[in-house]
Amino acid sequence: MDLLLLIIIFVSSILCLAIFGHLKLIRNGLNGFNNRLGVPEAAGSWPIIGHLHLLAGSQGPHKLLGSMADKFGPIFTFKLGVHRVLVVSSSELAKECLTTNDRVFASRPKAMATELIGYNCANFALGAYGPYWRQIRKIIVHEMTSHHHLQMIAHIRVSEVQSCLMDIYRTWATKKGSSETVMVDMKQWFGSIVINMVVRMMFGNHFSPGQQNRDQFQKAIKQFGELLGAFVPSDAIPWLRWFDFGGYEKKMKKTAKEIDVVINGWLEDHKKKMNSTSTQHVDDRGDQTVFMAALLSAVKEEVKEEVYGFSTDEIVKATCLAIYGAATDTTTATLIWALALLVNHPVVLKKAQQELENHVGRDRKVEESDMNNLVYLQAIIKETMRLYPAAPLSVPHESTEDCIVGGYTIPKGTRLLVNIWKIHHDPQIWAAPFEFRPERFLTSDKEIDVKGRHFELIPFGSGRRICLGMSFALEAMQLILANIIHGFEFQNPSNDQIDMKESPGLINHKATPLELLVAPRLLSHVYS
């Protein structure tokens, strides 16, 4: 959002308020709110739009809010239009919000995206805390994220990794030059392997020729993520929705339609299978492991449409979209950051490869049974998630009642942002917080994990709203990264440091491509 748009919003808002005579009422209301709250407020607020203009720059919101925390402290508020947002930037305060006040902050704020591209609020990841959310969460945990189910779909992870390794090897064999290397866009490669893995896990097959073009669907999913992370004017100032500043409503409707065409196609396929077999979603091809089929069956049996107001189709599609979008985006982003960091730190890369040779050797691929022995690889992934958390501000929470945080009274309806990025770079917790040092997780910080119990490191969040796909993401990232650095050598074509610029948004993506020179490390029979 540029400054001109903010000025237009500002002027329009004042005119609207002047016409309806509400300016004084809102100002008095906000002043009374400030007196009750007592939390330090960031300077620089404008009337009506609050601090919205500060978010118009190119700097990522997590870094902007991190700079504001340096000025105003680890707990402060800012105004997002008519909404008050609480920002916490320390592990102690994050723990207080997500343990002591976990239930209070378990809800999500309403937004245009939740309605238009969240199947009218049926998307459990973006929806309010309550009976519907608890019901869907229970089904997801049982049908998808349990240890038993992850073991059932292990063959999908393994086969997709093997297939993609072979693709790189074939590309090298046919296109290698005199340097015995070939250029590979690793950003695209990581995206492809994660997408294939998640599509098979959730829908049972790859994109078929009869479906909407894969690239178009992925473009729509990318747009979905960008729209979720955008600061939409009417979310901050609701009466501006009629004007649709920035065209967000139009974009969301278009994106929702493009996504629904593909997901609905998968759903109709599974409904036909269920109607054509007496064993419901279980058939000879192993559809019992396909999440959409299991979810469709569970929703029909356990969720009453008349209670929650959503149809079975809406619930299934919204839930699958939530998981698909989160699983592909965050996992891919972390893998890209990890490889970029390794290429920028060749000593660390060589050390990781040596660990693989010690425990795996050079005559076979890495298997899931090797993972427990690869402690340095696990430290690399931890350190990557510390430096570049996939969701640096987590997903916004909203309080459902008054509570106390850091000694301050936080009123009902306050939005909460936990600045995970700031916590992960806290010099009081981490030595050399901006440096890539995987060894820290083998020595001084050995006991810290990423599972929401240690608030110094919470890339998946914590509490009731912790990421349900955490176990899948960790297993997939370890298997993919281990195989790729075991199987190939990587070099930056320019011999310079890789650009580590971040792109703004809900998900922390690398802003620039990751094109590397690649050559195999192992004998040819290992790749077949």
Per-position DSSP letters for 316-350, written without gaps between them: HHHHHHHHHHHHHHHHHHHHHHHHHHHHH-HHHHH
What integer pLDDT is reported at residue 380 of this predicted model?
98
With a cut of 60, say whether residue 398 has pLDDT above it.
Answer: yes
Let me know: does 482 contact 370? Beta carbons within 8 Å.
Answer: yes
10-24, 80-94, 388-402, 468-482: lowest mean pLDDT where? 10-24
Q: What is the pTM of this model?
A: 0.90
Q: For residues 202 and 283, what is the distance between their CA atoms, to the nearest angstrom?
A: 16
CA distances (Å), origin 53, targets 23, 44, 65, 109: 20, 9, 13, 21
Mean pLDDT in residue range 170-179: 89
CA quadruple 40, 44, 48, 49: dihedral sign: negative
Residue 439, both tokens:
């060894």
pLDDT, residue 21, reads 47
Per-residue burial over 329-345, b = 16 or more CB atoms within 10 Å of its CB, e = otherwise: bbbbbbbbbbbbbbbbb
Query: What is the pLDDT at residue 2?
Result: 55
Q: Is the dihedral of CA 46, 52, 58, 62 positive or negative?
A: positive
The β-bridge relationship of strands 83-88 and 415-418 is parallel
pLDDT beyond 90 at 149: no
* Per-residue pLDDT at 206: 64
Task: Give residue 161's pLDDT.
Answer: 95
What does the pLDDT read at residue 207? Answer: 64
State the greatest distance between any 2 C-alpha atoms of the chain, in Å, as a whole number.
77
* 212 has pLDDT over 60: no
Question: Is 320 annotated among the ligand-binding residues?
Answer: no
pLDDT of the residue at 145 = 83
Q: What is the pLDDT of residue 29?
A: 46
Q: State the CATH class of domain 3-527.
A: mainly alpha
- Rounded-to-integer distance, Cα 60 and Cα 215, Å: 27
What average pLDDT does the chain have?
88
Q: Residue 119: left if φ>0, alpha if ψ -120 to 50, beta else—which one?
A: left
Of the listed ranges 127-141, 280-294, 324-338, 460-474, the one predicted with least confidence = 280-294
pLDDT score, position 59: 80
Question: Within 10 A of 40 (CB to CB), how many other CB atoms are there?
Answer: 14
- List pLDDT tens digits, range 4-28: 555 555 555 555 554 444 444 444 4
Where do we find the tokens 């009466």? 239
Report residue 211's pLDDT band, with 50, 70 and 90 as the boundaries: low
Distance, in Å, from the CA atom of 163 to the CA atom of 171, rounded to the nearest integer, reads 12
